[in-house]
Homo-oligomer: A and B are copies of this chain.
Amino acid sequence: MEAELTSDIARQPLTRPTEDYLKAIYQLSNDGGLVATTDLALVLGLAPASVTGMIKRLSEQGLALHERYRGVRLTHEGRRIALRMLRRHRLIEAYLVGFLAYTWDTVHAEAERLEHAVSDDLIERMAQVLGHPIFDPHGDPIPDAHGRFAEFVHVPLADVAAGETVTIRRADTRDDGRLRFLAAEGLVPGTVVTVIARQPYNGPSSLEVGGERRIVGHELATMLLCSRGT
Contact = CB atoms under 8 A, between A and B. Distances in A.
Interface string A83-114: 00000000000001001111000100110011
Contact of A117 (B99, B113, B125, B126): B113
Looking at chain A's contact residues, the main secondary structure is: helix
B119 A117 contact: no
A110 B96 contact: no
Contacts of A126: 100
A42 interface: no
A122 B110 contact: yes
Nearest to A102: B125
A49 interface: no
Interface of A: 96, 99-102, 106, 109-110, 113-114, 116-119, 121-122, 125-126, 129
18 contacts: A96-B122, A99-B129, A100-B122, A100-B125, A100-B126, A100-B129, A101-B125, A102-B125, A109-B119, A110-B121, A110-B122, A113-B117, A113-B118, A113-B119, A114-B114, A114-B118, A116-B117, A117-B117
